[in-house]
Amino acid sequence: MRPRAQIDWRPNPNFVRLELERRVLILHREILPYAPVVAARLREIESPGRAQGAGNRASGFRIVLDGGPELFARRARRGGMMRFLLAETYFGFEPRPLKELVVAAEAHRRGIGVAEPMGASVEPVGPGFYRGFFLTRAIAGMTLWEFVRADDDPVVREHILLKARAAVATMHNHGLFHADLNLHNLFVTQSGESFAVVILDLDQARLYDAPLSPALRRENAQRLIRSARRLDPSGRYFDAAALRVLDVG
């Protein structure tokens, strides 16, 4: 069952719902004038023969708006064995991109370091079946996994790991349970003359009205540690000391 905080939410006044052809768009008011352009870009991404996108599932695409902010569109795409059957088609009457937008908008309002949500798109493809996108403001940088392999300075690496720890601790303290926390979902970006770590992919996240319980904190932390051990089984980048930094459970 979803937590009470998630059930009681109301529509966010910063976003507007509209329909273009068969597509339902919910867009931040800042990009509302660009709605036809956004819809056209999403159609291009969906077209056959389109090049693979960025990210762990090759599902991320940048959208440049002339005179507007640059967006990052993440196409809803399955992992695991289901990707061979229904890679981009989902069933349900509460589309996941719309639920993620609600969670991300509230998380952003609470001051959690998440990618700024800018909208979502859902296109029905049959009774109860749909395809969708989640939109954020584009940010420059790389995932934590990419960063630790690209920068061999131990001082910089420790600094970034501490930033990641602080970002996850803030997430926990403000009541956000991620459910899929891994090295691909922590994003290192420039922040002034330093760095910041941003939390991505709230597709399965849940929000609570209070700080997370110790059990939920441990669950998030253990998943992150498993991700590091799976990606780096030899401990070349994540030795015991680095894993202790990431263990925020």
Instruction: Decide if pLDDT at 1 tops 60.
Output: no
CA distance 205 to 100: 8
Amino acid at 228: A
pLDDT score, position 6: 56
Instruction: Decide if pLDDT at 131 tops 50.
Output: yes
Averaged pLDDT for residues 107-129: 90
Averaged pLDDT for residues 33-58: 77
CA distance 151 to 161: 12
pLDDT score, position 81: 45
Instruction: Decide if pLDDT at 45 tops 90.
Output: no
Instruction: Decide if pLDDT at 191 tops 70.
Output: yes
pLDDT score, position 83: 45
Burial of residue 176, with CB atoms counted within 10 A of its CB: 0-12 exposed, 13-18 middle, 19 or more buried: buried
pLDDT score, position 194: 85
